[in-house]
Amino acid sequence: MPPAGSHAILVDLKRHIVQLEVITLATIFFLSLLLIRPFLETVLGSDVAVLLPIALLALLPVIAPVVNPESRWRAIIKYGTAGLGTGAAIGGAIAGTLSGGLGAPAGSLIGAGIGFLFGAVTGPILDGTKKILTQGEAREYLIIKRKRFPDLSLATIVAATEHPPTRTDCYVYMFVSDGVIKCTQDEVLRWLKSGCWRQKPAT
């Protein structure tokens, strides 16, 4: 019989592998755009050929939606890059329209700087708003909390996040969504702060 939580771990691994595949394919696509840039300039014009690859950077949070485990630096880089692409595209488009195309490079440069700063500041906030955790994420979150609660054992964490629960007087409420066991982050914190896990189950 597989150990408790192994299914959730496998689901998380599959999700991350798929994300890596998407990132790899997107990288190949971006490089392909650079290779066919002369063709794009002929068909779409030089301004569009320059702005199109930059604009695609704005899709980075969609292409790489990894948020587990949490990382402030990853969020800064991911959303900063997305902001750079968005700002460069908007700034270049506006400046190009107002100047007849002559000011597009300068507009892209200014927009890229503003967009990067905005994305870098808001990125950690956006990644930190995640409220739904998978069973594996909930367990990883509680394992990190063991730094503050050293008496919280791994066995207790696994037992408290089982579905269905084995200890009905002290557990994290878990539910199934899209075939995956999940819970809310608030429910995990409620269980942790309750301190019920410090008490031995009634016999």
What's the pTM? 0.51
Cα 1 to Cα 5, 7, 118, distances in angstroms: 12, 11, 49
Which pLDDT tens digit goes with each residue over 62-110?
777 665 556 677 778 888 888 888 888 888 778 877 776 666 778 888 8
DSSP collapsed to 3 states, the chain: CCCCCHHHHHHHHHHHHHHHHHHHHHHHHHHHHHHCHHHHHHHHCHHHHHHHHHHHHHHHHHHCCCCCCCCHHHHHHHHHHHHHHHHHHHHHHHHHHHHCCCCHHHHHHHHHHHHHHHHHHHHHHHHCCCCEEEHHHHHHHHHHHCCCCCCCCHHHHHHHCCCCCCCCCCCCCCEEECCEEEEEHHHHHHHHHHCHHHCCCCC
The residue with greater pLDDT, 105 or 47, is 105
- Please give the pLDDT value at position 78: 83
